[in-house]
Structure 1
Amino acid sequence: MRCRGAVSALAAVLVAVGSTVMGTGAAGAKEPGVAAANRAVAIDGSRAEVIAVQGRQVTVRIHSAAMGRDVEVKVQRPADTSVPRPALYLVNGAGGGEDTATWEENTDVVDFLADKPVNVVMPVGGAWSYYTDWRAPDPMLGVNKWRTFFLDELPALVDALFATTGRNAIAANSMTVTSILQLAIAKPGLYRSVAAYSGCAQISDPIGRQFVNLVVGTGGGDASNMYGPPGDPAWVANDPVVNAEGLRGTRLYISTGNGLPGEHDRLGDPHLVTWGPVGLANQVVVGGVIEAATNWCTKNLQDRLIELDIPATFDLSTQGTHSWGYWQKAFKNSWPLLAEGLAIPA
């Protein structure tokens, strides 16, 4: 059933140009064989076009028909593209990759994946949106139909452009942990493995909803445009903890620190976003408070999955703040589970 769903999604995409992509590298040399095509168009009106190629790094412009906007997507191609490869969707946190708080900028994860037989897909956009479908346009954040983008538009276009195997996994940190768990529930089997680091899945109880309000409000948005006012049934309908039964059958890796300073909370650590004592103090104090909150949320999710007898790997550390050094480590710890879902060696 899941395989048929993937085939159906891919069948909705028509490859418009069948020529091999030819890009220009740093030395001006042609880079052949990047993708099976350089454009793809879906019957829903979404479309994709390769706009830049730098060695194995490909930049794609996706036009989302649902949102009426273009979204930049970065793709790291595997070294060997002679046979189809799966896709790992590596999702950034609250800034949506629009700022410097990205996996590329702050970790070696993309380099770690360079020798793996996988397409690494990194969308850029959707800051503060929780990557979900909002019920109304927001005066600050605009039209947000990111769930439709991640379920119905992006994967099918990526499959068409890069001739993938159709197997997907997804990993995310912070705000977008909620998002990828929602995606796994909404379309079981699309993402075979899910790795979630330092997030708060629950959104419908007063505390969880307040977390959402704080995140969305940081970007100037109004969360009532997302799921309505407090008490609206949409909050419960979109809560991954309440609806955790939908995670059954998905490989799950979920990690968090507990907010106490640890190995990456020290001067000179390469993962400090802001150098010096001020940056360290911010990471320890602010990052500590945030991580203590995600620890509480993660334990609630763990309790719910245990109650439902749904298998999941939980990595609950006795230290660690809300910061990149811990997410880099967590990603590498989760890689075997992600690779299992992608049906490739770890």
Structure 2
Amino acid sequence: MPRVLSTLTVAACLVLGFAVAPARAESYVPADDGGRIVDVRKVDDQTLDLTIDTPLVDTSKPRIRLYTPAGWSRDADRTWPIVYAYGGGPGDYTEWAGAEGFPETAKRSGALVALVDGGKRQGFTDWYNGGKGGNPRWETFHTTEVPQLLERNFRASQKRAAMGISSGGQGAITYAARHPGLFAYVSCFSGVLHLTGAGVPLALMFTDYATPEPTVPDPLAKWGNPVFDAKNWADHDPYVRAEGLRGTGLFLSAGDGTQGPLDDDLATDVARDGLLNGVQLYLAGAAGEAVVGATTRDLAERLARLAIPATTDLYGPGFHQWEYWIREYKKAWPLMMNAIGAHP
């Protein structure tokens, strides 16, 4: 993932993290599985940071940044539609907070907006673990526990949209396909949308093995072995499960991995970051977007064959990086807001 991803995350933490103050002590209704909100901190008048103690994730206590619309109150006699926003593989729950203009867009909208932790490179899935299942169970966390907690405690309604970048975009589309009706609208910016496409499992596993995280000791544990556990890979492939997207509004966008108008050239990357880091940055942006661009095109073509409507922006030249995702979310935002009945 290009360096701009981590830079935005760090910037968000620096800008917002030091202004955090604890909210007043309150009681919160738990989820059905016992997951509960254990800490709420006020970032500003419209922003809260929540910490969740969940039986579904044992490597950390996931966090949520919740932007609230003007006039929102926990004690209101009404509910608000909600957008769930997922970050990319190496980032944390504050990634979208660093995207240009996004916090302001969220807070002036007529919806709650939840930036939800996905664990670092943990796949937006309930891990296969050699067929045994068990933790981490991010899909169950995102699709069941988090909605219950926000609907029971923060006046979120069941008018839901989801959006995500990179693996978070893949997660959003996969959740919609596996849980028809969960979201009214889903937007994916540069996500892998044909998990079982030619060469794709190898590319995903190479990414994990090349950039190991302490929380991902065995990347094969996510979906299993792509040969011996092919059925599980297919069960989590939006391309295979495309029929499940019927009735959900869709926005799909990606580049093709060639250098585009918002990308630095190789010489600039090398001059700024040194030869090795500069070349790695350049190649990661190019190769990553080449894969997601091809898989996004695959899904778009399959949706067309199935007569399932989707708004697509396969914009050609562009690397795997935030400058494009910022541009694309601004196109998708009014479509999501309209689908959940909120002003943008």
- Tell me if TM exceeds 0.5: yes
Residue 76 (structure 1) aligned with residue 67 (structure 2): yes
Of 71-80 and 330-339, the range deviating more from structure 2: 71-80
CA 1:72/1:137 → structure 2, altered by over 3 Å: closer, same or farther?
Answer: farther
Aligned partner (choices 222, 227, 238) of residue 226 of structure 1 = 222
Deviation of residue 240 (structure 1)? 1.0
Aligned partner (choices 144, 147, 154) of residue 152 of structure 1 = 144
Alignment-mate amino acid for residue 231 of structure 1 = F
Of 299-308 and 225-234, the range deviating more from structure 2: 225-234
2:96, 2:115 within 8 Å by CA — same for their partners in 1?
A: no
Deviation of residue 106 (structure 1)? 4.1
Q: What is the match of residue 4 of structure 1?
A: none
CA 1:286/1:224 → structure 2, altered by over 3 Å: closer, same or farther?
Answer: closer
Once the two structures are superposed, the pairs formed by residues 110-125 of structure 1 within 5 Å of their partners are 110-125=103-118
CA 1:144/1:181 → structure 2, altered by over 3 Å: closer, same or farther?
Answer: same
Distance 1:273 1:45 in 2: 48
CA 1:112/1:136 → structure 2, altered by over 3 Å: closer, same or farther?
Answer: same
Render the CA deviation track for 1:23-71: whole Å, top value 9, x for unaligned.
xx9698x989xx9x65221232111234211322111111222234521
Alignment-mate amino acid for residue 294 of structure 2 = W
CA 1:43/1:285 → structure 2, altered by over 3 Å: closer, same or farther?
Answer: closer
Residue 41 (structure 1) aligned with residue 30 (structure 2): yes
SS of 2:195 mapped into structure 1: coil
Q: What is the match of residue 261 of structure 1?
A: 259
Once the two structures are superposed, the pairs formed by residues 138-287 of structure 1 within 5 Å of their partners are 143-217=135-209, 218-220=211-213, 221=216, 222-229=218-225, 230-232=227-229, 233-266=231-264, 276=272, 283-287=281-285
Deviation of residue 176 (structure 1)? 2.1
Render the CA deviation track for 1:165-211: whole Å, top value 9, x for unaligned.
22111110112222111211222122111000011111224412113
Q: What is the match of residue 293 of structure 1?
A: 291
2:200, 2:291 within 8 Å by CA — same for their partners in 1?
A: no
Of 197-206 and 280-289, the range deviating more from structure 2: 280-289
Render the CA deviation track for 1:143-169: whole Å, top value 9, x for unaligned.
310000011100110111211222111
Equivalent residues, number = 309
CA 1:330/1:43 → structure 2, altered by over 3 Å: closer, same or farther?
Answer: same
CA 1:299/1:62 → structure 2, altered by over 3 Å: closer, same or farther?
Answer: same
Alignment-mate amino acid for residue 207 of structure 1 = G
- Flag structure 1 segments of 5+ consecutive residues without an equivalent: 1-24
1:107, 1:324 within 8 Å by CA — same for their partners in 2?
A: no
Distance 1:197 1:274 in 2: 27
CA 1:38/1:328 → structure 2, altered by over 3 Å: closer, same or farther?
Answer: farther
Render the CA deviation track for 1:226-274: whole Å, top value 9, x for unaligned.
222223111112111011101101100000112222332248xxxx999
- Larger RCO, structures 1/2 (Cα 8 Å, 6+ apart): 2
SS of 1:182 mapped into structure 2: helix
Of 173-182 and 151-160, the range deviating more from structure 2: 173-182
TM-score (ref. length: structure 2): 0.81
The share of aligned pairs that are identical, in percent, is: 27
1:252, 1:313 within 8 Å by CA — same for their partners in 2?
A: yes
CA 1:175/1:214 → structure 2, altered by over 3 Å: closer, same or farther?
Answer: farther
Distance 1:169 1:27 in 2: 27
Q: What is the match of residue 51 of structure 1?
A: 40
TM-score (ref. length: structure 1): 0.80
Distance 2:139 2:186 in 1: 15
Aligned partner (choices 313, 327, 330) of residue 328 of structure 2 = 330
CA 1:150/1:273 → structure 2, altered by over 3 Å: closer, same or farther?
Answer: farther
Distance 1:340 1:274 in 2: 44
Deviation of residue 137 (structure 1)? 8.5
Alignment-mate amino acid for residue 127 of structure 2 = W
Identify the structure with the greater helix proportion.
2
Distance 1:90 1:306 in 2: 26
Alignment-mate amino acid for residue 122 of structure 2 = S
